Amino acid sequence: MVVVFDADKLLINQLVDHHGMMETYAHLYAATFLFIASLISVYILYKILVDESPFTWPGITSGMIAVGLIGLGEAAEHFFPTDPFLHDFFHYMHMIAAPVALYFLYIGAKEFIEECKNDTKIGGKGKIKPLSPDVILAIFCGMIVLVVTLAMLAGSPWDPKVEGAFIYLTFIPTAYLSYMLIQQSRHTVCKESIIMIFIPIIAISVTMLVFDIMFGRLMDIWGWAQFYVITHAAQNALHVATGTILLLFSVFTYRAKKLGILYICGERPKYEPPPQEKIPMRDYF
């Protein structure tokens, strides 16, 4: 395998052959699958929960949309290899959508725990305050503004000066969000709501994808070709795995909704037979 570097010791010819591996198509298909899977999953969740509220589980669904933007940005950037702005617009879209997805999923896990604690869907206290549509829209708009700003600052595709600074500044906050998400998602697992086992699985999968992307970009900036190849191949697998998990989560959520166990958390109350009428003694004779 021959690896070529440019004047800044960055790996070049990535778009064409990815270091001789000829896996560009696999990368495009995997990233596109993640994007489509996230949209389908959000649509399924919306359709089965819309009878309660059009914004039920806003954190989880917004997180799934952000995960889909990772796939969209990862795939679309490869169609603009010579246009620095369009290339880096989609490139930074998937870089920034990653921590945004972690944040939304963290809020989503927290919302579900509050729903279970207050039993809001089955006549409980109803004290939770989920993310409002305005807040969600503001976060996504802020993300797009930041994406456009970074794309305008980039002088070339994968500009190491811009991307390097971005990764160094966001690494610790992203690591903290990942830790908070995994810690929070552990509490969603309960014996009766088996469907919620998917929340920590999604958390782990998205976390692995996010850090694989960040480490892959660092390997590229530092010129460590072999490690870049490994992270890039792993990224393909994580795209497909994450998309599959999102689809399974939405399908199993649909089934749980039909069975009426979606919001049941903790131990199911012991069955108590209905009280029977007392039969007067005279009726026995």
Query: pLDDT for 124-145, tens place per residue?
Result: 444 556 678 888 999 999 999 9
Across residues 227-241, what is the average pLDDT? Answer: 87
Which one is predicted more confidently, 255 or 72? 72
Residue 58 CA to chain centroid, in angstroms?
13
On the question of pLDDT at 176 being above 80, the answer is yes
Residue 192 CA to chain centroid, in angstroms?
24
For 187-220, how does the pLDDT look when each residue is reduced to its tens digit (9 = 90+)? 766 655 566 778 888 888 999 998 988 888 888 7
Which one is predicted more confidently, 255 or 260? 255
The residue written with tokens 């059009």 in the block is 54
- Specify whether the CB–CB gap between 34 and 242 falls below 8 A: yes
| pLDDT at residue 108 in the model | 84
- The strand pairing partners of 11, in sequence order, are 5
Across residues 65-83, what is the average pLDDT? Answer: 88
For residue 281, give the DSSP letter.
G
Across residues 223-238, what is the average pLDDT? Answer: 83
Amino acid at 104: F
Mean pLDDT for the chain overall = 77
For 29-61, how does the pLDDT look when each residue is reduced to its tens digit (9 = 90+)? 899 999 999 999 999 888 877 665 544 678 888
Which of these, 238, 218, 76, lies nearest to 158 by C-alpha position? 218
Q: In which element (H, E) is residue 151 found?
A: helix 133-153
| pLDDT at residue 146 in the model | 92
* HSE-CB for 76 with a 13 A CA cutoff: 20
For 78-123, how does the pLDDT look when each residue is reduced to its tens digit (9 = 90+)? 888 778 888 889 989 988 998 999 999 988 888 777 766 665 444 4
